[in-house]
Amino acid sequence: MKNHMIHKLPVQPITIHSNTRPNKTEKSSNQTFSQFLEQAVAHVNPLTISKHAEKRMEQRKISIEPQEWEQIGIKVNEARQKGVKESLVLLKNAALIVSAKNNTVVTVMDRQEAGKQIFTNIDGTILLD
């Protein structure tokens, strides 16, 4: 039988020094993974505004801030994951009919006008006050 020698090396801790700044996509620890994922998906699949909805926004002088659009997109994605196909999105100043299936804003009206309407073929409602 051959004699084999095994040499053990002393274990030394390895330290890694990083001089790079944190990635911009890293979020604070108070944000859950699902919230981060929803935001990431919302940026990949932005809402499309139909020509009809765009025309209605102009006629009714409704403006929606970019932050609101982002929040709407996140909630529409969340609704789609729960099986919603057509949703009513209620904001402080507006009501939107959004096809979650197609990620498209179908029409827009102000809240006063929306208060007098009957909404059909809607299988989900999103409230963003």
The residue extents of the domains of the chain are 33-128
pLDDT digits (tens, 9 = 90+) for 41-88: 655 568 999 999 999 999 999 999 999 999 999 999 999 999 999 999
Q: Which position has the token pair 């390895």?
A: 14
Please count the other Cβ atoms lying within 10 Å of the Cβ belonging to residue 39.
18
**Residue 30, pLDDT score:** 72
| 8-28 average pLDDT score | 56
User: pLDDT category, 118, cuts 50, 70, 90?
Assistant: very high
Return the ∠ at Cα 104 (arms to 62 and 121), rounded to 5°.
Answer: 95
